[in-house]
């Protein structure tokens, strides 16, 4: 039978190997530059902005679509959050979102990295929730004529960004009148640490903290909804593809909205987890937003 020191050495070596492999995976997965090919629309101007975020202590970028000839008119603003591994260019490159700016909307597409739009539990330099809710909103209001009332603000996202839109709307209901989520990765804070998905588990722990921690619960929409005041919440518009692994948790969250009598629409739609499916949902989403 192995002695106690030998067992301890074996465990230590295993941990070192696992962590070394995780670091190697992280290096291999460094994001590669992607060509920028925005889909523009008649009567819509595009602006790219770089600004300093106090919350992140670094420069960040965002893209804006706005209707021509309305520079001095205060416009309602919709923040569009990209998915994991994406960038602030995704919405403009992979969807026909520009056409909706021509209806009198300012569309703001910020860089969110792979943050889940959360103040990271184990990375104090990554306060992405504060960056979106405070720094970005302040910079947009300084550069563009936007409405300053809650009714003039919406937040929308796909996948990781769908999670971010729902979570930020639940935590800051005074700031948004509408929250849209296409294929929201809404169950991420509930996913348990597992060695089989070590890279993902380590990243989620850095962002949300250990399993069942207060920080993890404080960023979990399934927990947040139970303490919310329904009358103060925004309207939620949710969709998810019938071929997605995320369909079950989205159904569960929609059922929770029903149970707590929170105003929402939920649509199960054909397709998988991709921009083709999400692009098809935009007309319905913006129709609901305009109401």
Long-range contacts of 204-208 (CB under 8 A, 24+ apart): 205/121, 205/122, 206/120, 206/121, 206/122, 206/123, 207/115, 207/116, 207/118, 207/120, 207/121, 207/122, 207/123, 207/126, 208/116, 208/118, 208/121
Q: What is the CATH number of domain 39-290?
A: 3.40.50.1820
- Mean of pLDDT values over 206-212: 96
Residue 34 is predicted with a pLDDT of: 62
> Per-residue pLDDT tens for 24-53?
444 444 445 568 999 999 999 999 999 999
Over residues 127-172, the pLDDT tens digits come to: 999 999 999 999 999 999 999 999 999 999 999 999 999 999 999 9
Q: Determine which of 11-15, 105-109, 285-289 has the lowest per-residue pLDDT on average.
A: 11-15
Render the burial of 67-88: b for 16+ CB within 10 Å, e for the rest: beebeeeebbbbbbbbbbebbb
For the chain, the domains span: 1-30, 39-290
* 273 pLDDT higher than 80: yes
Q: Residue 7 contacts by C-beta under 8 Å, 6 or more apart in sequence?
A: none
């Amino acid at each position: 039978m192995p002695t106690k020191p030998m067992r301890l050495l074996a465990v230590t070596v295993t941990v070192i190997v696992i962590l070394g492999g995780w670091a190697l995976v992280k290096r291999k997965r460094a994001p590669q530059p992607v060509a920028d090919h925005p889909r523009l629309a008649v009567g819509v101007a595009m602006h790219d902005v770089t600004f300093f975020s106090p919350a992140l202590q670094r420069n960040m970028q965002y893209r804006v679509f706005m209707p021509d000839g309305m520079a001095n008119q205060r416009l309602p603003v919709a923040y569009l959050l990209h998915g994991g591994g994406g960038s602030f260019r995704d919405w403009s490159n992979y969807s026909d979102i520009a056409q909706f700016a021509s209806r009198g909307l300012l569309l703001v597409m910020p860089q969110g990295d792979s943050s889940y739009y959360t103040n990271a539990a184990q990375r104090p330099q990554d306060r992405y929730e504060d960056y979106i809710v405070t720094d970005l909103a302040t910079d947009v209001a300084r550069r563009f004529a936007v409405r300053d009332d809650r009714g003039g603000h919406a937040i929308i996202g796909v996948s990781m960004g769908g999670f971010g839109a729902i979570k930020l709307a639940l935590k800051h209901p005074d700031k948004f009148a509408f929250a849209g989520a296409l294929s929201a990765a809404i169950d991420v804070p509930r996913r348990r640490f597992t060695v089989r998905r070590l890279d993902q588990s380590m990243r989620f722990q850095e962002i949300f903290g250990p399993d069942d921690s207060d920080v993890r619960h404080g960023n979990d929409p399934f927990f947040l909804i139970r303490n919310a005041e329904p009358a103060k919440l925004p309207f939620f518009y949710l969709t998810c593809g019938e071929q997605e692994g995320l369909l079950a948790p989205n159904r569960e969250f929609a059922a929770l909205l029903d149970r707590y009598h929170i105003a929402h629409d939920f649509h199960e739609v054909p397709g998988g987890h991709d921009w083709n499916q999400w692009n098809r949902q935009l007309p319905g989403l913006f129709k609901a937003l305009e109401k």
